[in-house]
């Protein structure tokens, strides 16, 4: 609740400070800067705030569906805690699944990957596999039921 600072003692809820508190409850060791390979993470994308209303947007990523679901539940547990601390309705978390780990679609159709590897080898390239740690066209297409592994041309390792 926004209130004049001169009258705010024991009344003001500063949305910026509460959002900061929420953000600080995300495990620092589970952010992109501290994870690699198949380690999941929370990634804050956007933070906009004023005293009355602050919004944040996150990506939650994990290579395991259960751990992915646990991460989403953790976001809601933080919401519940802060609502207990500051009053119901102070914090609102909305989660929306955009896509899941593409391996869920690729593994049952792994012959696609084998064919790509074989083609690369015939063309003189040494194929390698490496986890993708963010959203890609392949993950979006795979989510729609079209198994689409990402193919790198070797320019970035």
Q: What is the pLDDT of residue 107?
A: 78
* Residues in CB range of 72: below 8 A, 6 or more apart: 60, 95
Q: What is the pLDDT of residue 156?
A: 57
Q: What is the pLDDT of residue 52?
A: 87
Q: What is the pLDDT along the chain (157 residues), one digit of tens a residue?
A: 566 666 567 666 889 999 999 999 999 999 999 999 889 999 999 999 998 899 999 999 888 889 999 999 999 999 999 999 999 999 999 998 877 677 777 778 888 888 888 888 888 888 877 776 666 667 777 777 777 777 766 665 5
| Structural domains for the chain | 5-86 (3.30.70.360), 99-157 (no CATH)
> What pTM did the predictor assign?
0.75
How far is Cα 86 from Cα 109, in angstroms, rounded to an integer?
49
């Amino acid at each position: 609740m926004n209130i004049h600072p001169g009258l705010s003692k024991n009344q003001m809820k500063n949305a910026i400070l509460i959002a900061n508190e929420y953000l600080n409850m995300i495990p620092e060791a589970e952010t992109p800067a501290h994870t690699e390979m198949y380690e999941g993470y929370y990634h804050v994308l956007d933070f906009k705030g004023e005293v009355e209303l602050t919004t944040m947007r996150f990506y939650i990523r994990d290579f395991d569906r259960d751990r992915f679901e646990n991460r989403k539940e953790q976001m809601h547990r933080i919401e519940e805690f802060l609502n207990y601390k500051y009053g119901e309705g102070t914090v609102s978390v909305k989660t929306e699944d955009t896509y899941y780990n593409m391996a869920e679609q690729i593994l049952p159709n792994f012959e696609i990957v084998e064919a790509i590897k074989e083609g690369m080898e015939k063309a003189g390239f040494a194929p390698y596999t490496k986890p993708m740690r963010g959203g890609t066209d392949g993950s979006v297409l795979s989510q729609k039921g079209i198994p689409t592994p990402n193919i790198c041309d070797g320019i970035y390792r």
